[in-house]
Amino acid sequence: MTDALLHRYDTLIQKLTATGGALVAFSGGVDSTLLLYAAYAALGDKAVAATIVTPYIPRWEITEAKAYADTLGVTHVELERPFPEALRMNPPDHCYTCKKYLFSELVECARNQKIPCVLDGTNLDDLDDYRPGLKALRELKIGSPLLDAGLTKQDIRDLSRHFGLPTGDKPSFACLLSRMPIGSRVTETALRQVENAERSLMDMGFPAVRVRHHGDVARIEVPQDDIGTLVTHHGPAINDALKKLGYRHVAVDLAGYSMGSLNRTNIIDDTENAS
């Protein structure tokens, strides 16, 4: 690891120490796990992790977040919240609406516990992508110390491996709303269908996967290098597994999956939503 990266990490620790206490929005993903690790190193018991449980966050994500918080020894708060009706028709601005809803809840939680600030895991690379949720974070004055320290996604992965965190190679993940077409009615049944379909593919060895929900059609996206293996070695098993979940047709997108591809499309045409 380079001296420059260690310097940026030292900057992160300084910024966290200066808060005097923080509620870390913790999903268990790559960014928030490093942020929580650093916050606990800087603040000790004045760092608190908070995870919001909603129907459009996969249950396995919640389980993994809880497990890591317990391993680290940090206080972990789970806030169960119902599906917000403002997101029921999956509007084009759902990322903004979602962030405003979730982080408003975290701000209230921090206020009730007299915690000085709420922090999230936004990093430098997020500024180059289509991230409408960043507007909500600014409006709510959410701190983004990874961004302020100048850390990129690769920096975060390198630091995670250096510190032995379990998320150094974990694929990036987006909430399940991103699997539903913009303007379509979102039901809890459809969300569980997608969640279980993706879990099935992960268990078969495809950690970077999206199952796009088109009614009774499941459209699978995996990196192009994995398409051949998926179809040739796992095609019948995947077809059977997803049909048991209620899909009538199972398709593989030959364009493959690349992080942020639908985000870029969304800038031009709101018929698809963020990845």
* Whether residue 149 is found in the same domain as residue 185: no
Q: What is the pLDDT of residue 128?
A: 82
Over residues 123-146, the pLDDT tens digits come to 999 998 778 889 999 999 999 999
Nearest-10 crossing angle of helices 30-43, 153-162: 60
* Whether residue 51 is found in the same domain as residue 123: yes
- Evaluate whether residue 223 is within a structural domain: yes
* Whether residue 149 is found in the same domain as residue 186: no
For residue 72, the domain's CATH number is: 3.40.50.620
Which residues constitute the domain of residue 201?
176-268
pTM of the model: 0.90
- Evaluate whether residue 152 is within a structural domain: yes
- Does pLDDT of 14 surpass 60? yes
Q: What is the pLDDT of residue 264?
A: 42
Q: What is the pLDDT of residue 258?
A: 63
According to DSSP, the residues that pair with 76 across neighbouring strands are 49
* Whether residue 143 is found in the same domain as residue 180: no
Count how many domains the chain has: 2
CA distance 140 to 119: 11
Over residues 17-55, the pLDDT tens digits come to 999 999 999 999 999 999 999 999 999 999 999 999 999
Q: Is the dihedral of CA 200, 201, 207, 210 positive or negative?
A: negative
* Whether residue 200 is found in the same domain as residue 89: no
Over residues 184-224, the pLDDT tens digits come to 999 999 999 999 999 999 999 999 999 999 999 999 999 99
What torsion, rounded to 10 degrees, do the Cα atoms 135, 140, 146, 147 define? 40
* Whether residue 88 is found in the same domain as residue 18: yes
* Whether residue 106 is found in the same domain as residue 224: no
For residue 255, the domain's CATH number is: 3.30.300
CA distance 195 to 165: 25
* Whether residue 54 is found in the same domain as residue 147: yes
* Whether residue 21 is found in the same domain as residue 102: yes
